[in-house]
Chain A
């Protein structure tokens, strides 16, 4: 939810390599990034620090698994937006989570799948596209979305 953005970013892992010159931290092994209710998990997370702290984190998984993310929906206690992809990039400055390759996001009854999804952690909107401008590698693949009618009671999440 919205208060997440003011929280510090906590990261836990089995190992980290810190390169003081390039200000990058490479976390490896059961990595969990937490910021308020936002959580990103993966096998590897590369964090770059800005002048005053966390700036961006790129999470990936190995062995064919996917990096995942979830965040509690605004004004709810246990309703979450959940997503996964081969690469999950989180930019705390402009509150965006970008999911690359085999991307999937589920929010309430809505589900979206595609090569690239961009989710705004502030507005909780997400944009799915065949290919992301930033990542020519993600070929323009099929996009599949299930959008619940507004006002209808959302079916129980599968």
Chain B
């Protein structure tokens, strides 16, 4: 493809290498592009320039807007998790299953979310969870939801109560801390724990629970007392 060299208009900056005006047609070398652009600009009539100008202006504007509204780089943000992005007071969250039966209800004095660490803290959470064979009640002074609630840390006078439909006596569990993995129905604590059912009491130094506190593994030394 060969490009004929356009006539160099008067007053345009002459391109040293192709200054000849009446040379036969030949391939233009790169430096001459400047000549072409400048000649093109002159050649286009003014009324056709406005859309181009408007478009470039618009592009510049969006670029500027994008840069301004970009979230600050977390590392740069001063201060750590104090900066909450939402707080809810006196909250009640109720979740229902497919047939509209309540699955669980979570009450809390305050729920606070920190975007930087994606942690949600709960003040005085109280949970009631319905299962087919019973109901689980759970409360503590503090709670923290991590990994979007896949892991829940409870601390401060943690109390669990589990009632089986087929047994009038509830099982209770008390400890200083408790970690829950709700979806896996698992819980664990490394702080001393006291478990009661009816008159029986079991004290242990740590515990892992499965299927919503249906099976408990207690580590020792373990001391149990059962009425005769």
Query: Is B50's CB within 8 Å of the partner chain A?
Result: no
Q: Which residue of A lies closest to B200 (CB)?
A: A53
User: Nearest-CB distance from B51 to chain A (Å)?
Assistant: 76
Query: Is A19's CB within 8 Å of the partner chain B?
Result: yes
CA distance A7 to B227 in the complex (A): 7
Contact status B162-A18, CB under 8 Å: no
A-B contact count (CB 8 A): 92
Query: Is B84's CB within 8 Å of the partner chain A?
Result: no
Q: Which of A20-28, A106-114, A123-131, A138-146 contacts B (4 or more CB under 8 A)?
A: A20-28
Which A-B residue pairs are the 3 nearest by beta carbons?
A: A53-B227, A54-B226, A18-B216
Query: Is A13's CB within 8 Å of the partner chain B?
Result: yes
Query: Is A35's CB within 8 Å of the partner chain B?
Result: yes
**CB-defined interface of B57-82 with A at 8 Å, one 1/0 digit per residue?**
00000000000000000000000000
On B, residues with C-beta under 8 Å from A are: 133, 162, 164, 167, 171, 195, 197-200, 202, 204, 213-228
CA distance A85 to B217 in the complex (A): 28
Contact status B225-A18, CB under 8 Å: no
Contact status A20-B228, CB under 8 Å: no
Contact status A19-B226, CB under 8 Å: no
User: A17, A25, A51 — which one has the most chain B CB atoms within 10 A of its CB?
Assistant: A25
Contact status B162-A53, CB under 8 Å: no
A54 surroundings in chain B (CB, below 8 A): 200, 226-228
Contact flag A18-B202 (CB < 8 Å), given A9-B226, A47-B226, A54-B227: yes
Tell which of A5, A8, A10, A18 touches B195, judged by Cβ atoms closer than 8 Å.
A18
CA distance A6 to B167 in the complex (A): 24
User: B195, B219, B220, B228 — which one has the most chain A CB atoms within 10 A of its CB?
Assistant: B228
Q: List 28 A-B contacts (CB under 8 A).
A: A5-B228, A8-B225, A8-B226, A8-B228, A9-B228, A11-B224, A11-B225, A12-B221, A12-B222, A12-B224, A13-B220, A13-B221, A13-B222, A15-B219, A16-B217, A16-B218, A16-B222, A18-B218, A20-B171, A20-B197, A20-B214, A20-B216, A21-B164, A27-B222, A29-B220, A49-B197, A54-B200, A54-B226
